[in-house]
Each structure stands twice: as structure tokens, then as C-alpha cells.
Amino acid sequence: MTATPAIEGWFTTEADPALLGSRCTTCGTVFFPPTAGPCRNPACDGLDLEQAELSRRGTVWSYTDAQYQPPAPYVARTDPYEPFALAAVELPEGLVVVGQVADGYGVADLRVGGEVELVVETLYTDDTGDRTVWRWKPTSELGEEADQ
């Protein structure tokens, strides 16, 4: 069995994974998920986009939990369904990217403005192996940040 990304071409799976986006070669605007040209910036008439590796760390812009199982094509990891946390994370590139929160963390571990980093974890397993996805992992405990 092997581990492969659930969505090919959206993130790397190395020891230090990163999201993959697109950058306009004319104006420098960055997009996620990756896309083909032309540039989506309305102020730009650029036609060429290049692959851009996005920052691995960002700040929590917003967060919530998924108390109800999402509809298909979502594949639940457990039966019965177990709720999970979602975070909208602002990256230094100016993008906000939504993703699940890393295993073992929930809304109690998050705060707006808190730092998170990208990790790759198993989303589900099928007959061919693990399907992986990016997730956001808090970089420090809330109690430590509150004391500072």
C-alpha cells in the first residue's frame, strides 16, 4: 500500500510539505488552488502563470468545527462520524486557505491570530492505500501564548 495525495498537485508531501499555488509572471499575484492562465487579477492582463510553493506557516483568520458529516463526495474517517475542526489560515502571500486542523487538535486549541503550520496526514484509506491531505497544526499551546 502507498500514500498518495487525495488531490494531486495541490501540495507537496516531503518532510516539510507546502501548498502549491500559481503566481502570475506579469503582476506577481498568487492563487490557490493552482490554476492555468490567464491571471485572475482584474487589474492584470497577464497570460502566464508559474507554480508557486506557498508559505508553510500562517495565522488563523477564522475557525469552526464540523459537527455534522459533510455530504458526498466526503469520506468519513470513522463510523460513527466524529466532528473535526476547520481553520481558515492567512498566509504571508495574502491568501486565506481553509483546511482541516491536524489530528489531536480541535477548536479549543485555536484562536484568531494564532500561528499554525502545514502538515500532511491521512484523510482516508482505500484499497490502494492512504489518501493524504494538508492540515493546519497549531505551533504552540494556547496557555503558553496567553502568558506572553
Does a structural domain hold residue 21? Answer: no
What per-residue confidence (pLDDT) applies to 142?
56
In a domain, 50, yes or no: no
Number of domains in the chain: 1
Whole-structure pTM value: 0.87
Asked whether residue 92 is assigned to any structural domain, the reply reads yes
Residue type, 132: T
pLDDT on residue 104:
94
pLDDT lower than 70: segments of the chain: 1, 141-148
Q: What is the dihedral of CA 7, 13, 19, 21, to 10 degrees?
A: -70
| pLDDT value, residue 116 | 98
Whether 114 maps to a domain, the answer reads yes
Which CATH number do you get for residue 121?
2.40.50
pLDDT tens-digit map of 82-100: 999 999 999 999 999 999 9
Is 2 domain-assigned?
no
Tell me, yes or no, whether 4 lies in a domain: no
56-129-71 Cα angle (round to 5)? 75
Distance CA 24, CA 88 (A): 23
CA dihedral 60, 62, 68, 70 (to 10 degrees): -80
Rounded distance between C-alpha atoms, residue 51 and residue 36, angstroms: 10
Domain that holds residue 119: 55-147
Amino acid at 19: L
Residue at 89 is within a domain: yes
Burial group, residue 36, by CB count within 10 angstroms (0-12, 13-18, 19+): exposed
